[in-house]
Amino acid sequence: MAKDTMTLTNNATGESYEYDILHATRGPSVVDIRTFFADSGLFTYDPGFTATAACESTITFIDGKKGELRYRGIAIEDLAKHHSYMEVCFLLLNKRLPSKDELVDFDLEIRHRAFLHRGLQKLFDAFPDDAHPMATLSAAVTALASFYDEHVDIDDEAAYLEMAHRIISKIPTIAAFAYRQSLGIPFIEPDINLGFTENFITMMRAYPGGKMHLNATGHDHVKDVEVRALDTIFTLHADHEQNASTAVVRGVASTGAHPYVAISSGIAALWGRAHGGANESVIAQLEFIGSVDKVEAFIEKAKDPDDDFRLMGFGHRVYKNFDPRAKILKKLQDELRDELGLDTELMKIARKIEEIALSDDYFISRNLYPNIDFYTGIILTALKIPTSMFTPIFVIGRTVGWITQWIEFKKDETSKIARPRQLYLGE
């Protein structure tokens, strides 16, 4: 019977080294090369980690060829359709969906932890009026570490879950405060009568006193369809295995820094437009294109090898067939169009881009499909959420994933400080 090992031969010296193959429960297995440098004196070279597994994990599984995404083994389509974001948070942290009673307790705990220490609220005053909410968010999460400076014992489940619940709960408040600070308008405190997603929309939109906009016929209210759409967006962002920002969170965890500092570093990494910042860039790009008749010219620009213009919201390192999150959101976008009677110029431009790109050989041959950010940008615009809040909304959804990955890293006895090597070509 064939051995589950791989032999690597250095053709210059003729020396061979044998390595174990470790089998995954789903997806590619790995070659365990941990002793490779000690054996051969050589490093492996893999910029961007395109073929390198850096950890074992049981949280999220992606099959990029099949367009499959699962949290704790459950398909994203099932979670988006049948479960709330609160249930998804419980699932990621506890490895199973909650019972009815557990969900009530979890939801209540998250509601009660949403308030910010008065001292932390003073930090927001330090930022200029037009500060991007991502800058304020990242700084405030680092500051949060100083308010909860206790050592988290990773063998004490109650202690690390409390730490996780607190950050999940406070992130929407910090994001909403960061936004209101950028407008120079008073903060709206969280309301324990409201669920996670409705509370966040209210903290962003309400007038002082927590009341919504007043018409001749009474107060506006947050629509169910808005809560449903945003809750689904949070679920779709909740985790995405070892992406750039999660790798940063694990990297910071590996140095022993405070978990909230690791989350703050993840926020900074997510901000870039190749990652979570893309949703904001999608809208900036659609607005820049301006009208449906200009779409073809921009598609030509995106295809030109001498032009570094890229279609924002297209392409993915892992998904090479379609992004399953984008499929769910496209359906949601169509529902919103019907329910809210929306068909804006932006939506028409987006539809035209999608139509051309999906039938153009440049995009087909490179497996470039609309990704999650293409549709979140359009849906959040339809929900009248300000563009500067798109990436903070990604942060709100992803915080549970980051903190779950932090816990997994800490519990893994094989974890080591992240310390890559290099191919030195200098003097």
Q: Of 83, 132, 165, 316, which residue is the catalytic one? A: 316
CB of 68 to ligand CMC, least distance (A): 15
101 is catalytic: no
Instruction: Considering the complex, state which of residue 165 and residue 330 has its C-beta at the smaller distance from ligand CMC.
Output: 330
Tokens standing for 375? 């549709």
Contact positions vs ligand CMC (CB under 6 A): 240, 243, 274-276, 278, 302, 310-317, 366, 368, 371-373
- Tell me the C-alpha distance between 69 and 128, whole Å: 40
Q: Of 107, 231, 239, 373, which residue is the catalytic one? A: 373
316 is catalytic: yes
CB of 274 to ligand CMC, least distance (A): 4
Beta strands in 36-163 (DSSP E): 60-63, 68-71, 74-75
Three-state secondary-structure class, residue 419: coil
CB of 415 to ligand CMC, least distance (A): 24
Report the half-sphere exposure of 203 (CA within 13 A, side-chain side): 28
CB of 346 to ligand CMC, least distance (A): 16
Of residues 153, 71, 162, 168, the one with CA closest to residue 410: 153
At residue 106, what is the residue type?
F
For β-strands 30-31 and 218-219, DSSP reports them as unpaired
CB of 324 to ligand CMC, least distance (A): 12
Rounded to the nearest 10 degrees, the angle between the axes of helix 345-357 and helix 278-289 is 100
The owner of tokens 């990704």 is: 371
Of residues 243, 192, 253, 263, the one with CA closest to residue 372: 243
Q: Which residue is nearest to ligand CMC (CB)?
A: 315
Instruction: Considering the complex, state which of residue 48 and residue 209 has its C-beta at the smaller distance from ligand CMC.
Output: 48
Instruction: Considering the complex, state which of residue 182 and residue 232 has its C-beta at the smaller distance from ligand CMC.
Output: 232
Q: What residues are annotated to the active site?
A: 316, 373
